[in-house]
Structure 1
């Protein structure tokens, strides 16, 4: 009954949003832009504090006594081996964005840094430092805590896999299953919908840009519409095969293609320069982490605008993705301890993202700073292909990238339809195909509406606005998790050490 209510309300509001976007796209764009400005100006400080809070919370989960707690029953073993597990959480977490922003963001920060003079050696390191901030520890800490709460309440307490179920120790079972719980789940649905729609919109734009570079196909909304139709068909077919087939296979393909691309870029680009830049930037990132994570520049309007447009936007994006990524990571993490889970989710993707952006962004910066090739003035979706154009085998790299964006696209959409299905069927671990297909169609339609009504700006606005109410839910969730973990320790329910130190199979 409850799942039916959540599904009916969520689908109804989603269809209404799509219809408004089709009938009056200009008014929709105006309303969303006004909402974005209000949130960025008035709640930037709040987002900065929240992101820092979750990072501290995640560190406590690693070093504190809660790390011994097992996600599941004492006899439960991990369902997936560690390599597949990491590939799945990485593909779902940030896939398309790595290619869309891989060159564009570091080069943009190099030319227009958060403070100081642009296009200098100092701004090159500064730009990469802030890029790693946006895609590093803060982001994965937000994911980790939400996924941890969902996994614990599902596998240890037998609760449905819903955001509302994790709040039960704080608001009570009656409210969690009643109107408040339904409202929480509907908010999670729309944060997921808009967060993933943004990634799909970026993906369709960059696939279009890559095809334009490779075979001269024009760059316009009509082509992006065609791309969306083709990809939608593919990811709905994948979603129908279930998580152990479609998503697992695609995640492994994604990781393989990404590693091939990363190694090729490292070898074909300025290898020694990139490696030196990575070590130097990583050191500065660790040294300045606390300052960057709380920087707002209240006395400088231009610098404050930069922080709002980049850092605050990213915190909102990652928060909007937490129901999606959190539920997906939780679903595939049964049998892990809290410490193993948090260390893996926090550190491994952060290290991979840092190295990825240094290789791709550092190559672009080197081309502009030392070789005089203008990369920073390129549109975001074409900067990657501009860099490829300067390297040997550039056409091959472009082709691999288009394929990888497509598989990331399918994996993200496939995972999202699975999670949206869970959220609107009372937490079912294997939602019916008809529900997943419904959400796949709504997800694609919402992406197209946002692209049509304002392109990248509309996608960013949807993220920022949808994330705000969800943020308050995440705070209650963190308190609920802490309260429950204390009860676990008092009851002595922790993972027992095994004779052989073999954590996963």
Structure 2
């Protein structure tokens, strides 16, 4: 146990903040819920436009970087191969980015839009039916993955190009904040990120655990009560703890690969035995609807609500603003993870690969699973919306699967997939949390550190689940994620500043791939090297081991 590697101020502060929020919510759940919901309404109601502006700006900025000179910079040494193959790389980033939540929302999100559509459309109308399968794809599409990708640029750049063996959000903004990163401000940035991630993980547990419990109930008859949910949560914790302990190659990569092929099988089965033509046409039509209304969907708020005859629906705040806030909370984590697994790729490959593969995966889940349920609704085979309103969304999801051929087998495979999805998200999360609280990460965070955060991720959601306030922690994390808006701005500025400085100082690179030799830059500019000696010097030129 190498305690000298641990950044104890960040480690302890993150734990204190989590306990300071979670314990009062557990002791005073009703009062805490009221306060947190008021804060959430204030943030989303008054600053919703900032979230939407940020989503568009992030997407536009990444497209610009991908096709600029900066996008051709290689993450790693000149002749270094990619650390992971494309399929495994795509599987890991997708599993980390969406988790079991996509099984929940991919199957049932359309039902919410069917009865509560956007733009003041009447619920259940023909127009509402057209928008129902499209809006989920939009919320989980390029904008979401752009928000995820943005933090990966400076983090990957400093880790693989400037050779700083540190995976911290605070370190990635050093070019802008300078020595202020070494003050409590740097710790605050990392702690806010960690709290947001732990709260976001609570959101995933809040959605995933009841859905898995419902699947277990269908298979075994065990009631989906607190005892069952506790066992499921502990089982998932054991899986991702072992995976996180094993590391990237033997743990997270293996789970992600299993996850990918099992997901492909389930999607292919539903597509083939289900209404294939309807699924294909509806998905294709939804993509056209999104492309034709992309900016309308990305900028729609309700400034005229309750005036001039307009009725407030609450749709933008309840869905688009919430989703952008949720992606924002998770973004530094996904960015850290994508950066860590992208050795040997160019920045362009990392940007386009994350956005394209992430969006493609989301389209498949929403297009196939969601439209299968929509077909049951429209043909009168099964009233999904009515059943969901009478029971729960989780029960409706399992009931939809029950209409497939070999229903028992498919429910079992779906439940297993949900468990693995939950585990892959959490082992990635614990890996990154462990990396953030270390002063240096040459290859892997310390094993005991990874295990500690694996169990910490489960502990507080488990406690809050017993007091019935897991959703309150989710809401609290969204509120706490508001400062991340400004941190993301610093990350963007930091990447452009650092990469442009190195490009100007580099000579002799040949497109299309730019390899930046930091050792040569520092040797050619001794004055600059002396100025940076306290923050970079030896670490910048340390070969990757």
TM-score under structure 2 length normalisation? 0.87
In the other structure, the counterpart of 1:117 is 122
2:435 equivalent to 1:431? no
139 and 461 in structure 1: CA distance in 2 versus 1, 3 angstrom threshold: same
In the other structure, the counterpart of 2:63 is 59
SS in 1 for 2:456: helix
What displacement does 1:54 show? 0.5
453 and 50 in structure 1: CA distance in 2 versus 1, 3 angstrom threshold: farther
Answer whether contact 1:139 1:315 (CA < 8 A) is retained: yes
Aligned length: 497
- Flag as ranges the 4+ runs of structure 1 deviating above 6 A: none
SS in 2 for 1:103: helix
Cα deviation 1:100-159 (Å, max 9, x = unaligned): 111210122122211312223322221222111110011100111111221111111123
2:227 equivalent to 1:222? yes
In the other structure, the counterpart of 2:518 is none
Matches within 5 A, 1:60-209: 60-115=64-119, 116-159=121-164, 160-172=166-178, 174-209=179-214
In the other structure, the counterpart of 1:326 is 335
CA distance in structure 1 between the aligned counterparts of 2:68 and 2:305, rounded to whole angstroms: 39
300 and 427 in structure 1: CA distance in 2 versus 1, 3 angstrom threshold: farther
Cα deviation 1:450-501 (Å, max 9, x = unaligned): 4344456325413321210111101111111122232233234767558xxx
435 and 27 in structure 1: CA distance in 2 versus 1, 3 angstrom threshold: farther
In the other structure, the counterpart of 2:15 is 11
CA distance in structure 1 between the aligned counterparts of 2:338 and 2:127, rounded to whole angstroms: 37
Matches within 5 A, 1:311-460: 311-371=320-380, 373-377=382-386, 378=388, 379-428=392-441, 429-455=443-469, 457-460=471-474
Answer whether contact 2:66 2:352 (CA < 8 A) is retained: yes
User: Cα RMSD (Å) of the superposition?
Assistant: 1.9
In the other structure, the counterpart of 1:479 is 493
Answer whether contact 1:313 1:460 (CA < 8 A) is retained: no
Answer whether contact 1:214 1:399 (CA < 8 A) is retained: yes
Answer whether contact 1:21 1:449 (CA < 8 A) is retained: no
CA distance in structure 2 between the aligned counterparts of 1:304 and 1:121, rounded to whole angstroms: 18
Cα deviation 1:256-281 (Å, max 9, x = unaligned): 11001100111121100110111111
CA distance in structure 1 between the aligned counterparts of 2:351 and 2:371, rounded to whole angstroms: 29
In the other structure, the counterpart of 1:502 is none
Structure 1, 17-26 or 125-134: larger mean CA deviation: 17-26
CA distance in structure 1 between the aligned counterparts of 2:305 and 2:456, rounded to whole angstroms: 41
CA distance in structure 2 between the aligned counterparts of 1:435 and 1:15, rounded to whole angstroms: 18
What displacement does 1:250 show? 0.0
Answer whether contact 2:202 2:470 (CA < 8 A) is retained: no
463 and 5 in structure 1: CA distance in 2 versus 1, 3 angstrom threshold: closer
- Which residue of 302, 306, 328 corresponds with 2:315? 306
CA distance in structure 1 between the aligned counterparts of 2:285 and 2:275, rounded to whole angstroms: 15
SS in 2 for 1:376: helix
Cα deviation 1:171-230 (Å, max 9, x = unaligned): 11x111222111111111111111122112221111111112222221223321221122
Structure 1, 81-90 or 419-428: larger mean CA deviation: 419-428
SS in 2 for 1:430: coil
CA distance in structure 1 between the aligned counterparts of 2:93 and 2:510, rounded to whole angstroms: 23
CA distance in structure 1 between the aligned counterparts of 2:146 and 2:259, rounded to whole angstroms: 23
Cα deviation 1:324-357 (Å, max 9, x = unaligned): 2111111100111111111101112102211220
4 and 425 in structure 1: CA distance in 2 versus 1, 3 angstrom threshold: same
What displacement does 1:21 show? 3.6
In the other structure, the counterpart of 2:271 is 266
In the other structure, the counterpart of 1:41 is 45
323 and 344 in structure 1: CA distance in 2 versus 1, 3 angstrom threshold: same
In the other structure, the counterpart of 1:27 is 31
Matches within 5 A, 1:287-302: 287-300=292-305
What displacement does 1:411 show? 1.0
CA distance in structure 1 between the aligned counterparts of 2:185 and 2:302, rounded to whole angstroms: 37
Structure 1, 247-256 or 446-455: larger mean CA deviation: 446-455
Q: Which runs of 5+ in 2 are unaligned?
A: 514-545
In the other structure, the counterpart of 1:234 is 239
CA distance in structure 2 between the aligned counterparts of 1:449 and 1:306, rounded to whole angstroms: 31
What displacement does 1:71 show? 1.5
Q: Which runs of 5+ in 1 are unaligned?
A: 499-505
TM-score under structure 1 length normalisation? 0.94
5 and 456 in structure 1: CA distance in 2 versus 1, 3 angstrom threshold: closer
